Chains A and B, each alone.
Chain A
Amino acid sequence: MKPRRSFGRIPRPIGTPAEADDNRQDQSELSVDLDENLRTIESILGNASDLAVRRLALPGEPQSSLAVVYLTSLVNTENVSLTVIEPLLSLSDVAYRSAAMAADPLESLRLTLPTVRPISTAGSMKELIDSLLEGKVVMLIDGASGALYFDALRPPTRLFQLPTSETTVIGPQIGLTESVDDNLALIRSRLKHPRLRVEQVIIGRKSRTDVRIIYFEGIAPREVVDELRRRLHEIDIDMILDPGVIRDLITDRPYSPFVMERMTERPDTVAAEVNLGRIALLVEGSPFAMLLPSQFFTLIESAEDYYLNSLSASLLKLLRAFAYILSVLATPIYVAVVNYHFELVPLPLLLNIAATQEGVPFPLPVAAFLTEMVLDVVREAGIRLPRQFGPVVSIFGAIILGQSAIQAGFVPPGLIIVAMMGTICSFAVPRAEKALAYRLVRFPLLLLGSILGFPGITIGSVALVYHVASLKSLGIPYAVLYPPGHTARLAKKLVRTAEHNQPATRPLAPTDKVRRGKVPEPRDPKNGD
Chain B
Amino acid sequence: MRRIGLTALIVFLALGCSGCWDSVEIEEVAIVGSMSIDKGQGDHVVVSLEVINPSALASGTQGPIGESPVVSVMTRDEANTIPAAITSAQRRTPRKICTGLVGTIVIGQALAREGVGKIIDYLVRNATVRSSATLTTCDTGAGLLQRPFMFPLPSRTLAGLGESALASGMTITVTLCEFMARLSEPGIEPITMHTVGRKTKDVQVKRQGDEVKQTDPAVMREQPIDVDVSLDGELPPDSPILNPYKETSSGEFVPGTTINIGIAAYRGDKLVGFLDDHEARGYLWTVGRVEQGTIEVDDPGGSGKKIALGIIRSSASVKPVIDDDLIRMDVELHVDLETREAPMHTNVNNQTLVQALEDSLDALILREARATLNRVQKELKTDIYGFGNKVYRKDPKLWAELEPRWNEEIFPNLEVNIQVKSRVRAPGSAYSVANR
Contacts and interface: CB of A to CB of B under 8 A. Distances in A.
Interface stretch (B23-31, B116-124, B169-177, B239-247): B23-31
Interface string B39-82: 00000000000001011011011000000000000000000000
B12 interface: yes
B301 interface: no
Interface string B8-25: 100010011000101111
B2 interface: yes
Interface in A9-52: none
A158 to B, nearest CB: 42
Contacts of A348: 156
B197 interface: no
A351 B20 contact: no
B130 interface: yes
A354 B54 contact: yes
B133 to A, nearest CB: 11
A221 to B, nearest CB: 26
Contact of A447 (B16, B29, B55, B155): B16
Nearest to B18: A451
Contacts of B22: 340, 453
Contact of A342 (B15, B26, B55): B26
A351 B24 contact: no
Contact of A358 (B20, B24, B27, B52): B27
Contact of B33 (A347, A360, A447): A347
B101 interface: yes
B20 to A, nearest CB: 5
Contact of A451 (B5, B16, B155): B16
A447 B101 contact: no
B103 interface: yes
Contact of B58 (A352, A365, A450): A352
Given A357-B26, A447-B12, A347 B58 contact: no
B26 A450 contact: no
A357 B55 CA distance: 9
Given A352-B54, A352-B58, A358-B27, A343 B12 contact: no
Interface string A343-368: 10001101111111111100111000
Given A339-B23, A450-B23, A347 B57 contact: no
B7 interface: no
B350 to A, nearest CB: 50
A448 B130 contact: no
A353 B27 CA distance: 9
Interface in A305-340: 338-340
B58 A339 contact: no
A276 to B, nearest CB: 31
A365 B20 contact: yes
Given A358-B55, A447-B16, A451-B20, A364 B25 contact: yes
B26 A452 contact: no
Contacts of A156: none
A444 interface: yes
A350 B31 contact: yes
Q: Which of B12, B20, B58, B130 has the most CB of A within 10 A?
A: B20
A61 B24 CA distance: 97
A355 B24 contact: no
Given A448-B12, A452-B15, A357 B23 contact: no
Contacts, number: 88
B58 to A, nearest CB: 3
B396 interface: no
B214 interface: no
Contacts of A444: 12
A76 B40 CA distance: 102
Contacts of B5: 255
Nearest to A359: B27
B100 interface: yes
B68 to A, nearest CB: 16
Contact of B31 (A347, A363, A447): A347
B26 A338 contact: yes
B57 A340 contact: no
B2 A353 contact: no
Contact of B61 (A347, A358, A365): A358
Given A354-B29, A358-B54, A450-B23, A255 B130 contact: no
Interface string A434-453: 00000000001001101111
Contacts of A357: 25-27
A354 B26 contact: yes
Contacts of A354: 26-27, 29, 31, 54-55
Interface string A166-186: 000000000000000000000
A444 B13 CA distance: 10
Contact of B103 (A347, A358, A359, A448): A347
A355 B55 contact: yes
The 8 tightest CB contacts between A and B, nearest first, are: A355-B58, A343-B100, A354-B54, A355-B54, A351-B54, A357-B27, A339-B23, A358-B27
12 contacts: A342-B101, A347-B33, A351-B31, A351-B52, A351-B58, A352-B58, A355-B57, A355-B58, A357-B25, A365-B20, A452-B20, A453-B22
Interface of B: 2, 5, 8, 12, 15-16, 20, 22-27, 29, 31, 33, 52, 54-55, 57-58, 60-61, 98, 100-101, 103, 128, 130, 153, 155-156
Given A339-B24, A342-B98, A355-B55, 15 more contacts: A338-B26, A339-B20, A339-B23, A339-B25, A340-B22, A340-B24, A342-B24, A342-B26, A343-B101, A351-B57, A355-B54, A355-B61, A359-B27, A444-B12, A452-B20
Interface of A: 255, 338-340, 342-343, 347-348, 350-360, 363-365, 444, 447-448, 450-453, 463
